[in-house]
Structure 1
Amino acid sequence: MIKAHQQLIHDGLWNNNAALVQLLGLCPLLAVTGTLINGLGLGIATTFVLVGSNTTVSLIRHHIPKEIRIPVFVMLIASFVTNVQLIMNAFTYELYLILGIFIPLIVTNCAIIGRAEAFASKNPVVPSMIDGLAQGLGFTLVLMLLGGLREFVGQGTIFDGAHLLLGEWAKDLTLRFYLTDQKFLFAILPPGAFIGLAILVAIKNKIDDIKS
C-alpha cells in the first residue's frame, strides 16, 4: 500500500506530470506565470480543486450513473472553484485580480477532469486524495519554476509581489539580482512562456534519458 502511494506521488511530481508530460492546463500555465508568486497562487488554487474534486468523486463514484458522470464531475469541480474564488476574494484580493479569468477557468482544466475520470472514479478515497495532491503539487512546481525563470530574466527579481499572497510582511522577501530601467518584455509576455516551458520539458527529458 505504501509503495502504491509512493508511486502515485512520484507519478504526479515527475513521471506523469500534468504540465511536463501530459501537457495539460497550458493556457493558464503560459498566461499567468509572469512571476513566481503568480504561479504559486494559481498552483495552490488548482491543487485545492484537484484534491477536493478527486476526493468527492471517489466518495460518490458508486452512486453516479455512467451516462451523466462527466456533467456531475464538472459540477463538482465548479463548486470547488467557486470556493477558491470566494477565499481569494476574501484574503488575497489583489492577487485574485491579477490572475483574473484564469481562476474560474480552472473548471475547464483538462488535468482536473482527467484525474476525476481516469483515477478518482475508479479508486478508493485515500489513493484518490493522494493522486490529486501529487498532481496538484507537480503542476504547482512547474508553475513556480516557469514563473521564477520568466521573472528573473524579465525583471531581475524573484518573489516580487509575495505580499499579494502572504501578507505585507512578505514584501521583504523580494530578491533583486540586477537593476533595469525596462523589463525584458519577451520573457514576461507569452513568447517567453513558450520558450521557458520548452526548456523545462527538455531538461526533464534529458534527466530521464540519463536515468535510463
Structure 2
Amino acid sequence: MSENSKIFKDGLWEQNVVFAQMLALCPTMAVTTSGTNGLGMGLATTAVLVVSNMLVSLIRQTVSSQVRIPVFVVLIATLVTIVDLAMNAWVHELYKVLGLFIALIVVNCAILGRAEAFAVKNGILASAVDGIAMGLGFTGALTLIGLIREFLGAGTLFAQASQLLGPAFAFLEVQVPGYGGALLMILPPGAFAVLGFLLAGKRLLERRLAERAAARPSPATA
C-alpha cells in the first residue's frame, strides 16, 4: 500500500476522528440534527484542517518547540476566523444555523492533534493529504449521523439543503411520504444513541474482518 493510500485509510477508517479517536464530540452531538448541518460543519472543519496542516508543515523548521503550541493555536484561530467570515458572506443561512460551533472549530482537538501528531513531522504534500483524509472522515461521520437522526426524527434527508448550501444542492432533498418521525432522534439523546450504535457496528465489522483474515490461509501454506 502506498503512503498516501495508507494516510487515506487511516483518516477515513482506522483513525477516524469520531468513530476511532472519539474526538470533536461536541459538534458531533450538537450540529447533526440533519445531514445538511453535518455536511456543512464537516466541510468547514476540513478546510481549516487542510490549510492548517500545510502551514504547520511549512513552518515546522522555523518554530521552536517552546512556543510551538501557542503558534499553532494562533494559526488555527486565524484560519477559523477566515472560514467564519466566508460562511457569513456566502452561506449565511447555514452560518446562522451552525452559529457558535463554527468559532469552536478553534478548540477542536482533531485539528491541533493532527498538527502535533503528523504535520509537524512530515512534508507539505503528505500533510495536505492527511488533512483531506481526516477532514473527509470527519465530514462523513457527521453527515452519516445527521442523516440517520434526520431520517428517523423527521422523515427527511438533507432538508433545506438548497436554502443552507445553495440551489445547486436541491437534488439532495428527500421527503419520506407518510412518516412524521420520532422527535427523540432530533434531541440530544438521539445523537448519543445513533453514535453508540454506529460505534458498535464499526467494532463488529472490524472483528468480523479480522476473523476472516485470520481464517484465510497464507500463500505459503496454500
TM bucket, shorter chain: over 0.9
User: How far does the alpha carbon of each residue in 1:4-59 deviate from its partner, in whole angstroms, 9 at most, with x for none?
Assistant: 11100000000000100100000001100000000000000000000010000000
Aligned Cα root-mean-square deviation (Å):
1.3
How far does residue 170 in structure 1 lie from its aligned partner after superposition? 3.7
Aligned to 1:88: 87
Superposed displacement of residue 180, structure 1: 4.9
Q: Alignment partner of 2:147: what SS?
A: helix
2:206 aligned partner = 208
Q: Residues 58 and 124 of structure 1 are in contact (CA less than 8 Å); yes or no, is this contact kept in structure 2?
A: yes
* 2:190 alignment counterpart: 192
Task: Give the Cα separation in 1 of the matches to 2:114 and 2:28.
Answer: 18
Gap regions ≥5 residues in structure 2: 211-222
CA offset at residue 172 of structure 1? 5.2
Residue 53 of structure 2 contacts residue 115 of structure 2 at CA under 8 Å; is this kept in 1? Answer: yes
TM-score relative to the length of structure 2: 0.91
% of aligned pairs identical?
50
- AA at the equivalent of 1:42: M
Distance in 2, matches of 1:187 and 1:176, equals 17
Task: Tell me the TM-score normalized by structure 1.
Answer: 0.95
Please list, as runs of the form range in 1=range in 2, the aligned pairs for 1:165-184 lying within 5 A after superposition: 165-168=164-167, 170-171=169-170, 173-180=172-179, 184=182
Cα deviation 1:60-80 (Å, max 9, x = unaligned): 000111011111111111111
Q: Kindly report structure 1 stretches of 4+ aligned residues shifted beyond 6 Å.
A: none
Corresponding letter in the other structure for 1:26: L
Q: 1:6 to 1:171 in 2, by over 3 A?
A: closer
CA distance in 2, matches of 1:59, 1:170: 35
More helix by share: 1
Tell me what 1:23 maps to: 22
Q: Is the 8 A contact 1:39 1:144 kept in 2?
A: yes
In structure 2, the residue matched to 1:40 is 39
Distance 2:72 2:182 in 1: 41
Q: Which runs of 5+ in 1 are unaligned?
A: none
Count residues with an aligned counterpart. 210
The answer for the alignment partner of 1:154 in structure 2 is 153
| Cα pair 1:157 1:178 within 8 Å, conserved | no
Where does residue 12 of structure 1 map in the other structure? 11
Counterpart Cα distance in 1 of 2:123 and 2:171: 44
Work out the CA distance in 1 between the residues paired with 2:57 and 2:169.
38
Offset, 1:162: 0.5
Q: Distance in 2 between matches of 1:117 and 1:172?
A: 39
Q: Is the 8 A contact 2:40 2:165 kept in 1?
A: no
